[in-house]
A = this chain, B = another copy of it.
């Protein structure tokens, strides 16, 4: 099995609310937009983020965990400069992010902060001063 991630699909309660946040708020462009069902956003050359209505998600995948707590997954958006962490977090706050944790120096040398989308999924905005082996980010 090749090492390849093609889609990340999040179960969301209200696709219109997700659209208001990601498209209207963050200014992202949807590649596929089916009201009430799914919103697909290209987030890499060969990677798509899919925000899928929870009822559809559960019909295909199965019943999801309780929403009491933070989903056990984070998505990260790496930036090229330390200052960008704060500006992206400000953009997320203006877009209506529910929770925004300000930029924090991390023990590994980076500077990161988090915001939550309308369903509580956490995005980490990260500046990493060093290389991660041979992987170039962002």
Contacts and interface: CB of A to CB of B under 8 A. Distances in A.
Given A92-B1, A135-B48, A64 B69 contact: yes
A29 B137 CA distance: 18
A68 B92 CA distance: 30
Interface string A99-119: 000000000000000100001
Given A8-B8, A43-B4, A72-B54, A31 B78 contact: no
> How large, as a class, is the contact surface on chain A?
35 or more
Contacts of A92: 1
A43 B64 CA distance: 25
Total copies of the chain = 2
Contacts of A54: 72
B72 A65 contact: yes
Interface of A: 1-11, 26-29, 31-32, 40-49, 54, 57, 61-78, 88, 91-92, 114, 119, 121-122, 124, 126, 132-138
A32 B132 contact: yes
A31 B77 CA distance: 19
Given A5-B43, A5-B47, A46-B137, A72 B76 contact: no
Nearest to A65: B69
